[in-house]
Amino acid sequence: MRRYHVTTFGCQMNAHDSERIKGMLEELGLGEAPSPEEADVLVFNTCTIREKPDTRLAAHLGDAKVLKERDPDRVIAVGGCYAEAQRESIFARYPFVDVAFGPGSIPHLAEWLGAGGVGVARSSFGIAEERRFAATLPMHRERSFQAWVQVSMGCNSKCAYCIVPAVRGREVSRRPGEIVAEVTRLASEGVREITLLGQNVNSWGRDLRPEIDTEFGELLRACDAVEGIERIRFTSPHPKDFREPVIAAMAESRTVCEHVHLPLQSGSTRLLKAMRRTYSRERYLQLVDRLREAIPDLALGTDIIVGFPGETDADFQATLEVVEAVGYDSAYTFVYSPRSGTEAAAMPDQIPDDVKRERIERLVELVQRIGHDRNRARIGLTEEVLVEGPSRTDPSRLRGRTRRNTTVNFLGDAGAGELVQVEIDGATSTTLSGRQAALVAA
């Protein structure tokens, strides 16, 4: 049997796309190889959100080139956002690549990999004319009890730093009936936790009007009503589109978790404007207040960029102030990375690397201190944990996540996929520790 290996870079959307890529390859009759060395078809599902993943990909492709030299029948396919962004130059830059495809053309993979992935003609696909959703494609899920469910593809925002709209196209919402049918099927297969995925989940449904008049809160309620689902998460909401019906649906739906990933990007209204985020610092903070009022034990995560063009010390200070004022439970912090073709890449006043570095260090320190304080406040509480498997650092312990999305390493005897109560007795800036109290539901 011919075998494939998929290497995935980047965000959850890409991880989910890889599940579809794997599912399609398996439908073609290929089996999964444990490493690229043992595979006949090597797929790289790439990210190009910052320069770092581009550099990592170059190293991986260097290794793939050596493998191909050893065995010229090996097929090397490069998919995802980098492939889409570099569609004009990818074969010149990496002549040993056989196939390149953008995130919109995954459904076409089968056409050119053909039976068993043999005899591929070199070809390149961009954002496909008619993009299709996952439901109609086979899927290979990594965990039996957790699943991603795509609610939309593409993005209609114009954030000045971001390459996503250029490589994933305009937003297209998936129809609610299709989404709920997939959630129902997943629940019947034993899935307990779903994460609804979209670049901006809170604008979901707009493009379906007037034929279907709906919004994201209604979708949350419909998924909450599916029997067997215990936890619902979603990512990412854009603060500009976070409206009352969604807040109410979160507060009133049993299975929607008390966690929101609410990308801030910057705490300076001036910079938010330059970024084209279309909310101010004040509006963001008001939204946080409303969310906390409706969902008292809410955990908040965020994304922050430092060193956006023109960022002054005062702008950066404003970001630190918002981080302090909100008190995030977790935060992804990024050094601004110019992406060719985006508005910000052409802006004057690019920030020197040493300034970016110094700022990110200060930001990370603050984020960690606050994360540690927030986690320490959980000591003594009992939290519901969905068991994911053995702890990564100590296999004699288990690992899982609270509803508030914090990783917990704990003493216990439950199996993966079970919900247990864990008494929290320790905290770091990113994790909790504890011991299992009782089995909640098997």
* Contact residue for ligand SAM among 50, 168, 174, 374 (CB under 6 A): 50
The DSSP letter of residue 238 is -
Q: Is 260 exposed, middle or buried (0-12, 13-18, 19+ CB in 10 A)?
A: buried
Residue 78: which of ligand SAM, ligand SF4, none does it interact with, CB under 5 to 8 A by kind? none
Distance in angstroms (rounded) separating the CA atoms of residues 60 and 53: 10
Spell out, one character per residue from 340 to 379, where the chain touches ligand SAM: x when CB under 6 A holds, - when not: ----------------------------------------
Find residue 421's DSSP bridge partners.
Answer: 384, 438
* DSSP-derived 3-state class of residue 391: coil
Please provide the DSSP assignment of 128-176 as one string. -SS---GGGS----S-SSEEEEE-EES-----TT--HHHHH-S-EEPPH
Give the CA dihedral 62, 40, 86, 13, nearest 10 degrees: -110
**Would you count residue 333 as binding ligand SAM (CB under 6 A)?**
no
Helix (H) or strand (E) holding 349: none
Phi/psi for 334 (5° steps) reads -125, 140
Distance in angstroms (rounded) separating the CA atoms of residues 78 and 96: 11
Residue 359: which of ligand SAM, ligand SF4, none does it interact with, CB under 5 to 8 A by kind? none
- Residue 113 or 162 having the CB closest to ligand SF4: 162
**Would you count residue 157 as binding ligand SF4 (CB under 6 A)?**
yes
* Contact residue for ligand SAM among 6, 11, 30, 272 (CB under 6 A): 11
Residue 33: which of ligand SF4, ligand SAM, none does it interact with, CB under 5 to 8 A by kind? none
> How many CB atoms lie under 10 A from the CB of residue 75?
22
Number of residues lying near ligand SF4 (CB under 6 A)? 9
**Would you count residue 165 as binding ligand SF4 (CB under 6 A)?**
yes
**Would you count residue 268 as binding ligand SAM (CB under 6 A)?**
no
**Would you count residue 338 as binding ligand SF4 (CB under 6 A)?**
no
**Would you count residue 82 as binding ligand SAM (CB under 6 A)?**
no
**Would you count residue 146 as binding ligand SAM (CB under 6 A)?**
no
- Return the residues of window 223-282 that contact ligand SF4 according to CB under 6 A: 238
Distance in angstroms (rounded) separating the CA atoms of residues 258 and 262: 13
Q: Could you tell me the smallest distance in angstroms from the CB atom of residue 168 to ligand SAM?
A: 9
* Contact residue for ligand SAM among 336, 363, 412, 417 (CB under 6 A): 336
The size of the chain, in residues, is: 442
Summarize as ranges the residues that interact with ligand SAM (CB under 6 A). Answer: 11, 49-50, 161-162, 164, 199-200, 236, 238, 263, 265, 303, 305, 334, 336-337, 339
